[in-house]
Amino acid sequence: MNKTKRIKSALISVYHKENLAAIVGKLHQLQVKIYSTGGTATFIEGLGVPVTTVESLTDYPSIFDGRVKTLHPKVFGGILYRRDEAEDQAEAAKLGIPDIDLVIVDLYPFEETVALGAPEAQVIEKIDIGGISLIRAAAKNYKDVVIVPSKREYLPLLDLLEAKNGETGIDDRRKFAAAAFDISSHYDTAIFNYFNREFGEPVFKQSYTDKVTLRYGENPHQKGMFFGNFDEMFEKLHGKEISYNNLLDMDAAVSLIAEFDEPTFAVLKHNNACGLASSPVLLDAWRKALAGDPVSAFGGVLATNRTVDLATAREIDTLFYEVLIAPDFEPAALELLQGKKNRILLRHKPEKTLPQQQFRSLLHGVAVQDRDLSTETVADMKPVTLAQPAAEELTDLVFANKIVKHCKSNAIVLAKGKQMLAGGVGQTSRVDALKHAIEKARTFGFDLKGAVMASDAYFPFSDCVELAGEAGVKAIVQPGGSIRDSESVDCCNKLQIAMVVTGKRHFKH
């Protein structure tokens, strides 16, 4: 079988027409017969290129306001019949079915219409029927037909037409077919997920067409890619190529900083907060956040929920860090921070929130869960001890609890005056997490007298309360739920420590 084929006829039916004129002009130059529909046919005629309407081919009109245009045996027969099968050739000749060697389709913008919040009637009309059928038919018969399934493939097709003068090889056609099934499967996934928002069927279907090849994965010997539209959430203003580890830290940073309304700065390392503070003055928040662990801040990821001003930028500029995320930058601050060529500066678009579901690959499958969207307030904190937390302590308990929620378990956070004093994270026992936090706080010169403590899960024993009391902690927040809760409460009463429970555990692995 001759695997090289010349394109002699083409069917073009597209939504987006950018870059189409050059293709049409090249096809005309190659003397390719062009069939088309509706607005696409009008566009081609406007270029002065002869075009045969599908209605002329099928002798049947476009009906139901364009819902049915190409769904006809003469169209699909011309795409699907096997050129190397004598019976197919004879049947096509008998029925007057012409060859269609090239199909160019661009589907209705279903996802874009959903994203605009259009009413359902408009969304439904953007479910392409004829186009998706043409894509599948042409891709199935890739041995004979070239399929261009989206505007993304317009330029690759034009390059192919220029390079091979209208000839295509089997590898060319198979590559376009693979792209076609990528497009069709993604389109169907988007439609299913739209309908499943109402019903919530336990089905895992995700598809991303935007992708970026990363320098490597977590380590240089691992390959890495990011699938998704990075630009929906961030505008990259400066810096080197973003890495896999940067992305993990950025995800953690965005999730954490979203918890705070007043001016706040966070410093993260390996997905954990190593410093965080809130203050009416952003520069003060930065200084207090950095003071929490100036050693770990080296090479970290910084995030704030306010515009970075020049005064703050001057102090940030003295630190080596990987990424700085902010809703905006004063022009002078941005100019200063761009002085280091590798540091990554990102403008966060807060209107684009993180998905409400999370998933990760594990074993031979995928685990899916709802994102932890529970943020406890003063109203959620139930006192269980004789001592009651003072107003300032309650404020700090809420503050510390927001941070510990985003730390790797087992996690303990110590705080005072809306400043994170230290954290013990990722430990195999809760008491080790507390010991680590106390040691760090003392290393960086913090007095823990009057501090509060937050725990991501309950205390299995009273040892954490005893250690916290010895260190000077005066109020504790934890979810509660241990069969030994009473031991921790009794210990608090003995040490005159206030304890509140929330009923919400915040494990993070």
- Per run of 10 residues, the mean pLDDT along the chain (length 509 residues) is 83 93 96 93 95 88 80 90 92 92 94 92 93 95 96 95 95 96 95 91 89 92 93 94 94 96 97 97 98 96 98 97 97 97 94 85 92 95 96 97 97 98 96 97 96 96 96 97 94 97 96
CA angle 451, 453, 459 (to 5 degrees): 150
Q: Please enumerate in sequence order all residues whose Cβ is within 8 A of that of 61, keeping only pairs 6 or more positions apart, or say none.
A: 55
Query: Residue 218's pLDDT is what?
Result: 94
Query: Residue 453's pLDDT is what?
Result: 98
**CA 6 – CA 179 distance, rounded (Å):** 21
3-state secondary structure 163-200: HHCCEECHHHHHHHHHHHHHHHHHHHHHHHHHHHHHHC
Bridge-based pairing of strands 365-370 and 357-362 is: antiparallel
CB 437 within 8 A of CB 413: yes
Query: Residue 236's pLDDT is what?
Result: 96
Length of the chain: 509
E-strand stretches of 341-411: 344-348, 357-362, 365-370, 382-383
Query: Residue 70's pLDDT is what?
Result: 79
Residue with tokens 């290393």: 443
CB 300 within 8 A of CB 314: no
E-strand stretches of 150-294: 167-168, 211-213, 225-227, 234-238, 264-269, 272-278
Query: Residue 58's pLDDT is what?
Result: 85
What angle, 0 to 180 degrees and rounded to 10, lies between the N-to-C axes of helices 154-164 and 170-199?
170
Catalytic residues: 140, 270
